[in-house]
Every structure is written in structure tokens, then in C-alpha cells.
Structure 1
Amino acid sequence: MDGTAAIKQNLEALKRILVMLVAMAEMGGGMPGAGGVGAGMPGAGGQFTFFPRKGEAASRQVLAEKSKLSPALTLPRHLYLAILRLLRPAEAAARRLIIAAARGIVVTLPPLRPRKPKPATLRGPRAFLPKGPKKRPKPTPRSWSLPLLDPPRRPFRIARRAVPAHAAPRILGLDFGAPYHPLPPPPSPNDPIDSARLGQRLAALTAALDDLPGQAQRFARWKARRDAAIARDGPVSGRRSPLRRGRPPGGRLSRYDPVATHSRKIREVDEILAHAHALAVHALDNHDSS
């Protein structure tokens, strides 16, 4: 099974979906009073455009423009949730394409560095000498990258039940002279939602799709480190597989079937995710059996 053509086809489809998500974010960011991601559409009066310019890589343009933004980025609630519903399966599909593209890549890890012994605690008169001022290093800009591992399931997490503020019971006392405080209104679809993290996830997905071979090398290094730890120390705690069991995150299809007919609830990103999941499972099984 040669999945090169399938990986390329799904990669191009994911790029189209990403362009659509970025366009949705720019539309919301260009609305009056919403300084969202990509508020620089023509006539929007924003700061920048999320689309790459001609002759430049998408990831470099996105990260360069992202560093110029102010932290106060908002999107309307309905648009924020619509983007999030498509972004999660797109990230899972990109992660699986990376795993499939890393099939057959062999990396050589550098030798482990010996740990430096911790300095002994100062004793005697030197322990009471004042220490000089510590020079704080300049903070380096954080580079966002697509996670290579699926988020783990939390079956034993207890969901906290909270009554929304607009539906809280009204308990009035006998003090009729007390001021009346009305309840806050219910959340509106147009309420501004902080979208700074959403923009970072879009930038990370853009960088991953723009450099799939480099991300495949990154996954191959992670797999080599994991295999070396297992060979050295035996079964180790933590993640042994980058994919979690069951349905992929955000997906609505349990398996890939190219000839099956689906309902209207199945989106294009669900079919891409199911196909990418099959490619990733095939690549992992062949690596482990070899």
C-alpha cells in the first residue's frame, strides 16, 4: 500500500479547509468592534491579513504577522464555535498525515549527555555572603507547533455542574428596601470571545501543512526516542502510541469506506480524517511489525 498519493490528496484538501477557516476568522475579525484574527481584510480597517503573500511560505508569513498582533483578539461566539468544530478534526487529520508521511524514515539519535552533578550547598561563612543580582534572560518568542500526540481521554473526570448566571434562582429576603439587582442576560451568539489561542492553533496548523516532511522528521525523532527508552528501561509510563483508542478527536466517522454513502451530518473534514486515520494506523502497524 503506497500512501504517497493519498497523503498528497488529503494534504491539499486540508489546505483548502484551512483557507476556509482563516477566511471565516478574517470575516469575524473585520466586523466592527471585533479585533479578531486577520482583521486586515480590505475595508475592514484591521491590522493584518492571514493569507500568505506571493512568493512567501505560509508558515513564515503567518508567524511573522502573528507576532505583530495585540493580545486582545475576539470573535463572535457563533463564529468562534463554528471554526472550532472544524479546526479540531483538521488538526487530528494533519497529525495522522504526519504519522503516515514518517513511515520509513530512520533517524539516528545523538548519545545521551551525562547529567551534571548538583553543586553542594555552601557552608561556613560563605553561606551568609550576599549573592549578586541575577541577570534575567530575555524572553524568546514562543513558537507554536502542532502537537504530535492525540489529547488523552479522561473517562474519570467529574464534570462540574454549574447553573448559568441568567438561570440562577431568585431568592429574595424580607428586606423590601434592598436594591434589586437584575440577572445578567443569557449569552448571545454575537458575544465577543477571546480568540488569541484559536489564532495560535491556526498558525500551528498552517506551519505543519506547509512543512509536512519536516514534521515527519519531527515525529520520527519522537518515535526513535520512545523506542530507545523502551529498549533501555523496559516498558515506560506515558504514551506508547500517538493515537488514542476509538474514534479520532472531532471525527464523526468510525472507519474509512470510500464507496459508502453518508448523511448530511458527515462533513468533508470527517472523510479526510477517517482516511488519514487509516493511513496512520497502517504506517504504525508496519513499523511495529518490522
Structure 2
Amino acid sequence: MDGSAAIEQNRMALKRIVAALIAMAGLDADREAWGERKTRFTLPRHLWLAVLRLLRPAEAAARRLIIAAARGLTITLPPPRKPAPRPVPPDQFLRRFGIAVTMPAVGVAAAARHSAAPARPRSYCLPLLDALRTPEPYGGRRRTVPAHAAPRIMLPGIIAPHRLPAPASPDDPVSAVRLAQRLTALAAALDDLPGQARRFARWKARRDARLTRRISPLKPGRPPGGRLARIDASATRAKRSHKIREVDEILAHAHALALYALDNPDTS
């Protein structure tokens, strides 16, 4: 089974969905500006939720396309490198010989600034593994109460009643910096699918060498973000309704491709 044509077809469909999400969020074509944490980028709550509802299944589908594209790739891990020895400060080196040295605080701070390497800008990459849900105690979900409906415990005449915050409004501004970073990572991953496949092949090599704790890159059960009750790539057209979106069908096909790649690795 050669799934290269199916992978490319779903990749192009995902790129169209990502372009639509970028337009919905009002982002420009400069991707480098999206990932800046200092940028104050906000969206109305209803628009932020609308983008997020489509972004989650799109990310899950992209991960499964990467897994399918990595079928047959083998990576040889380099030998483990020994950690480089840390440089010994001058005052500690002289104290080994019994020489008392007192350095001013200003000099120590200046030496630390010169010795420290410049910090590299942090980049956000598309996660290759599905996030696993932390099991709740007693096998149930944790019940949460919104802030505007929390119970108030008070003593009449001693404690004044505390005014609860108003419920969230759909037009409230919500920080969308993280959302923009995720869109950046997803768009970059779809543009460089072979590179992401090699990245996943390196993870598989580390898993085979027992250097990671995860065994499967996919979470048990349904893919995250999808609306299909049963992931069956051949039955998606028959089950299409107003609740089934295009991204759900892409996720169904990508999930089937990923399962085939994991169950039938190409060792030739």
C-alpha cells in the first residue's frame, strides 16, 4: 500500500484549512511575528474558540500524516555525547591552592554576564505525540465550577458577602499569542512534511533504544478534536451530516493512514 498520493491530497486539504484559520484570526503573512511572546495579540472569545475548534483536529491530522510519511524511514542515533566540563571560576581555582580570594559583587556579576551564552529565541514546533489525559481519581472527571457560580461561605454579621465576577462574555478579549504560535507550527510542519517525518523517525529510534517512556505516539481511543463517533475512512462519506466538517474527514483518513503505518512498518 503506497499512501503517498493520499498523504499529499490530505496535506493540501489541511493547508487550505490552515489558510482559512489564518484569515479568521486576522494574521498576516509574516510568520516570524506570530511567535513573538511579547506581542500583545488578542481575539474576541467567540472567535478564539471558533479557531481552536478547528485547530485541534487539524493538528491531530497533521501528526498522523507525519507518522504515515515516516513509514520506512530508519534513523541511526549517534553515540551519546559526554557532557562538557564546566569552567571553574577563578576564585574557586585559587582557593584550591589555599589562596584566599575576595571578588566584588559587581565583578562577579560582570563575569557571569560575559560567561553566559546569549539566550536563543524559543521556537514552538508541532508536537509529534498526542497529549495523554491525566487519569482522575476514582476514574471520574474533575468537576469544576465557573467563577461566577462558585458557592460563597460567610458568617452573617461577621463576613461581608463577596461579589462574584460576572460571567465571561463572548466579546471579551482573549490572548491569542499561543494560538498564533500553534498556527505557525502547523503551517511550517505542512510545508516541510519530509523533515517532520525524519523528526518522527528519530523519535522512533529513541523509543526502540528505550530512551523514552512513551510507546505509542497516538492516544488511546478517538483522535483529539474529531467529531466522528467511529473513525472509518471508508464510511465517512456515508456518515456526512451537518456536524461532520471537512477537517473531520481529513482526520479520519489521516488516522487510518497512521494506523496502517504503525501496524505495517516497511522494513525493506
TM-score w.r.t. structure 2 length?
Answer: 0.80
CA shift for structure 1 position 280: 0.8
| Unaligned segments of structure 1, at least 5 residues | 27-37, 39-48, 52-60, 231-235
The answer on 1:71 being equivalent to 2:49 is no
Q: Is the 8 A contact 2:40 2:177 kept in 1?
A: yes
Q: Is the 8 A contact 2:70 2:200 kept in 1?
A: yes
CA shift for structure 1 position 193: 0.7
Q: Please show how residues 22-37 of structure 1 align to structure 2 within 5 Å.
A: 22-26=22-26
Name 1:203's counterpart in structure 2.
184
Describe the superposition over 1:195-233 as per-residue Cα deviations: whole angstroms up to 9, x where unpaired.
Answer: 111110000001001111111111112212222x14xxx
Provide the secondary structure at the position in 1 that maps to 2:265: helix
CA spacing shift, 1:152–1:124, aligned 2, 3 Å: farther
Provide the secondary structure at the position in 2 that maps to 1:193: strand
The counterpart of 1:242, out of the listed 203, 207, 217, is 217
CA shift for structure 1 position 262: 2.9
Provide the secondary structure at the position in 2 that maps to 1:187: coil
- 1:172 and 1:166 map into 2 onto residues whose CA distance is 20
The counterpart of 2:122, out of the listed 136, 142, 156, is 142
- 2:15 and 2:86 map into 1 onto residues whose CA distance is 49
Identity %: 60
Describe the superposition over 1:159-190 as per-residue Cα deviations: whole angstroms up to 9, x where unpaired.
Answer: 655543333456573379x7x87543211000
CA shift for structure 1 position 71: 2.6
- 2:35 and 2:164 map into 1 onto residues whose CA distance is 39
- 1:24 and 1:86 map into 2 onto residues whose CA distance is 11
> What amino acid sits opposite 2:197 in the alignment?
A
CA shift for structure 1 position 138: 1.8
Name 2:258's counterpart in structure 1.
280
The answer on 1:266 being equivalent to 2:244 is yes
The answer on 1:166 being equivalent to 2:148 is yes
Q: Is the 8 A contact 1:256 1:271 kept in 2?
A: no
CA spacing shift, 1:125–1:62, aligned 2, 3 Å: same
CA spacing shift, 1:190–1:3, aligned 2, 3 Å: same
CA shift for structure 1 position 125: 2.9
TM-score w.r.t. structure 1 length?
Answer: 0.75
- 2:195 and 2:245 map into 1 onto residues whose CA distance is 29
CA shift for structure 1 position 81: 0.9
| Unaligned segments of structure 2, at least 5 residues | none
RMSD: 3.0
- 2:164 and 2:87 map into 1 onto residues whose CA distance is 59
- 1:221 and 1:137 map into 2 onto residues whose CA distance is 28
Q: Is the 8 A contact 2:35 2:184 kept in 1?
A: no
- 2:204 and 2:150 map into 1 onto residues whose CA distance is 50
Provide the secondary structure at the position in 2 that maps to 1:278: helix
- 2:7 and 2:100 map into 1 onto residues whose CA distance is 62
The counterpart of 2:199, out of the listed 203, 218, 222, is 218
Q: Is the 8 A contact 1:208 1:215 kept in 2?
A: yes
- 1:193 and 1:127 map into 2 onto residues whose CA distance is 56
> What amino acid sits opposite 2:216 in the alignment?
S
- 2:118 and 2:2 map into 1 onto residues whose CA distance is 47
| Higher RCO by CA contacts (8 Å cutoff, separation 6 or greater) | 2
**May I ask how many residue pairs the two structures share in their alignment?**
250
Name 2:9's counterpart in structure 1.
9
The answer on 1:92 being equivalent to 2:60 is yes
The counterpart of 2:233, out of the listed 257, 272, 281, is 257
Name 2:72's counterpart in structure 1.
104
